[in-house]
Structure 1
Amino acid sequence: MSLKTEKTTLALSAKDIPQEAFDWYDEYAHGDIDRRTFLSRLGALSVAGLTLSVVAGALTPNYALAEQVSFNDPDITASYVEFDTPNGHGKGRGYLVIPKNVDSSNKAPAVLVAHENRGLNPYIEDVARRLAKAGFIAFAPDALFPLGGYPGNDDEGRAMQKSMDGSKIVGDFMDAATLLKSHSLATGKVGMVGFCFGGFLTNHLAANMPDTINAGAPYYGTPAKSNIDKIKAPLQIHLAELDKRVNATWVGYEKELKANKVDYTAYIYPTANHGFHNDSTARYQEDNAELAWERTISFFKQNLNT
């Protein structure tokens, strides 16, 4: 079965999954309920033609579906690099992807990529490669590096990240942004895109590193907790219509952005669930995801190439 066929099958089966299942998965993925409760609730659903294993499988990431840009694509060079994080855990590691045509005489703007609450998984690595294909230096740190790195599955990754000092994770990403600002192949312009927890990080760094972050694109992320009045970067905010948890924070955040005259644009994608950009699960919505990504790339080109 081809990758395209697998994605199509996944998308078609998603239409038969009740919204409650997506809501419960969001609770489970963010630690509000445990796996046993999640599966118990799914088992109680009456879903015609779909078994518990099929529904659970559709909601659980299959990262074989998430590769849009090959790791050995001839237009990019990808590597894992370690870097100093004096404001975090002391040492960090991330996935650095550089366009092949970038060198000391042909520099490019950089984009920091922030993962969800489970470490640097294959989907986020692919996002970094997509950015490099679009002409940006992309760097995706792994918050789990101090514990050995992303373990290969999301359940363990979530548990690992939950056990860590959140302020040190924030420090790691702040130091990664500083690294990109002064990278020898970069122009000094830094954008940031993040998903879920990474969306929060994007909001947070825009507020707390206003002289470093030049453009921010948070996807379904909760607001920065302080210094919203310090934001200088334009923000392009992506929200999912059915994302109750994050959307509950949006009204207050938007008021603060307006009150502080922050340059922002917010898009709310119809019938979309939290995680709609992640093409490894049934939450993925191809049309909304592609539209959001086209907007993001255009936004970065507009704000980082000047």
Structure 2
Amino acid sequence: MNPETRAAAVALYDRFTHEGMDRRVFMERLTRIAGGAAAANALLLAIAADPAAAAITKADDPRLVIKKGSLGLKGIALDGYVAAPKDAKGKLPALIVVHENRGLNAHIEDVARRFALEGFFTVAPDFLTPAGGTPADEDAARAAIGKLDYDAALAAAIAEIDALKALASTNGKVGVVGYCWGGAFVNRLAVAAGDRLSAGVSYYGPAPATSEAAKVSAPLLIQLAGRDARVNATAEPWAAALKAAGKQVQAVTYPDVDHAFNNDTSAERYNKAAADKAWAASIAFFRQHLA
């Protein structure tokens, strides 16, 4: 694929999925970029996340205990996906995995299993539970995310932190990792949760106002994509404000990669080298702060 065509298509897709562009307008513009309707459809398939893509881990991995359904929070309706090592020795650090603006899908469940295999008691909440749960249609999921009561979602996440701390099988420390919409959620949860949160890793997530940095207690690892100007416009000042406020923060930008470079179900945006480095950094960060 021509590099200029690819870059233009990725930038357009980012606008479509994050700025509310009408699908008809999006497809008209993508068709012009690709040079025809058939080429546009092929290009879209390569850029968009593929819900049928093979998982890195198996859904029935015998090394894990997996549950799906209500997370059992008192007075809060929140479903989710739970994955934990089957034969763990001792108490485990807990980790919340926050989904993208597509909701809790098979890819995020796969990510939760990956973290569980690294020794974390992992929960991936479905923050679209109040809207009836994550729909199969990605456009519908993004529309539902746009209507979500953000404060209620933050309150549900804080309740889940408290619930995880109280489990007999965990060590009382809870981290959070999120991607895209979930990366933004990590930043905002760090503000809202204060010292209840033990550590957070934000992948290419838009950031709060820099004035909120003083409210953060948890150490943060902020992982950014070099080509992601939309997110970096707020995330870079956010990282600088956290440093200026004396907070524990690491900010890493992976050059020459796109937004969502970690999502291995998107053929054109996934970058294995950057994703592997970011994964290793995330595991090391959580092992440091959740031990």
TM-score calculated relative to the size of structure 2: 0.92
Kindly state the Cα deviation for residue 147 of structure 1 after the two structures are TM-superposed.
2.2
1:53 aligns with 2:41: yes
Q: 2:81 aligns with which of 95, 104, 116?
A: 95
Match of 1:235 in 2: 220
Matching residue within 268, 273, 278 for 1:287: 273
User: 1:264-303 maps to which residues of 2 (within 5 A)?
Assistant: 264-281=249-266, 282-303=268-289
Conserved 8 A contact 2:72-2:78: yes
Confirm or deny: 8 A CA contact 2:239 2:249 kept in the other structure: no
Task: Report if aligned partners of 2:101, 2:180 keep a CA contact under 8 Å in 1.
Answer: yes
Deviation at 1:33, TM superposition (A): 1.1
Which among 112, 121, 128 is matched to residue 137 of structure 1? 121
For 1:185, the equivalent position in structure 2 comes to: 169
Q: CA RMSD in A?
A: 2.0
Q: How does 1:1-306 map to 2 (within 5 A)?
A: 17-46=5-34, 51-84=39-72, 90-102=76-88, 106-225=90-209, 227-281=212-266, 282-305=268-291
Give me the whole-angstrom Cα distance separating, in 1, the residues matched to 2:10 and 2:245. Answer: 35
Q: Is the 8 A contact 1:199 1:219 kept in 2?
A: yes
Secondary structure at the counterpart of residue 63 of structure 1? coil
Q: Distance in 2 between matches of 1:258 and 1:107?
A: 32
The size of the alignment, in residue pairs, is 288
User: How far 1:179 sits from its partner (Å)?
Assistant: 1.6
Alpha-carbon distance, 1:148 to partner: 2.0
State the AA in 2 paired with 1:189. K
CA-CA distance at 1:180 after TM superposition? 1.4
Runs of 5+ in structure 2 lacking a partner?
none
Instruction: Give 2:281's aligned amino acid.
Output: R
SS at match of 2:207: coil
Sort the Cα spacing of 1:14 and 1:233 in 2 relative to 1 into closer, same or farther, 3 A.
Answer: farther
CA shift digits 1:178-236 (9 cap, x unpaired): 22121221110111100111111111122221222111100011223464213222111
In structure 1, runs of 5+ residues without a counterpart are: 1-12
Tell me the CA shift for residue 252 of structure 1: 2.2
Counterparts in 2 of 1:136 and 1:17: CA distance versus 1, 3 Å: farther
- Per-residue deviation, residues 133-190 of structure 1 (Å, max 9, x unmatched): 0000000000111222111121111112222222222222222222212122111011
Q: Does the 8 A contact of 2:93 with 2:171 survive in 1?
A: yes
When structure 1 is superposed on structure 2, of 154-163 and 71-80 the one drifting more is 154-163
Relative to structure 2, which stretch is displaced further, 22-31 or 89-98?
Answer: 89-98
* Matched AA of 1:292: A
